[in-house]
């Protein structure tokens, strides 16, 4: 059985070729733990019975989904689905 978890902070790295940010880790909740790796989030979201994630950024609750990176060829890019913007709201979360 899957659960839904709130992502409250992110860690990013800049790509080498055509520099832009990719999320590498996410923090769940407000307890200050190390968080989950991008690979874990991708595996859960790709599993139909896996855990789901959401985030509250820019005053909007958004579902965390996988999609193609708008800048490079990464297909499993961790992003947020918003009704109000095409921007990745996750990038507006606090960094850790």
Q: Where are the alpha helices (DSSP H) in 1-96?
A: 38-46
Lookup: tokens for 31: 């307890």
Q: How many domains does the chain have?
A: 1
Tell me what the mean pLDDT of segment 6-24 comes to. 92
pLDDT at res. 87: 73
Lookup: tokens for 87: 């921007």
**Is there a contact between 24 and 12 (Cβ–Cβ < 8 Å)?**
yes
| pLDDT tens for each residue of 53-81 | 999 988 899 999 999 998 898 999 999 98
Residue 15 domain boundaries? 4-92
Whole-prediction pTM: 0.88
**Residue length of the chain:** 96
Round to whole Å and give the CA distance between 48 and 69: 22
């Amino acid at each position: 059985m899957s659960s839904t978890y709130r992502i409250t902070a992110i860690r990013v790295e800049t790509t080498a070729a055509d520099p832009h940010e990719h999320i590498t880790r996410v923090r769940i909740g407000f307890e200050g733990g190390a968080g989950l790796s991008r690979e874990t989030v991708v595996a859960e979201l790709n599993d139909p019975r896996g855990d789901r994630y959401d985030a509250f950024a820019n005053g909007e609750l958004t579902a965390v989904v996988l999609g193609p990176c708008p800048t490079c060829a990464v297909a499993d890019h961790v992003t947020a689905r918003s009704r109000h913007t095409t921007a990745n709201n996750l990038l507006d979360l606090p960094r850790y």
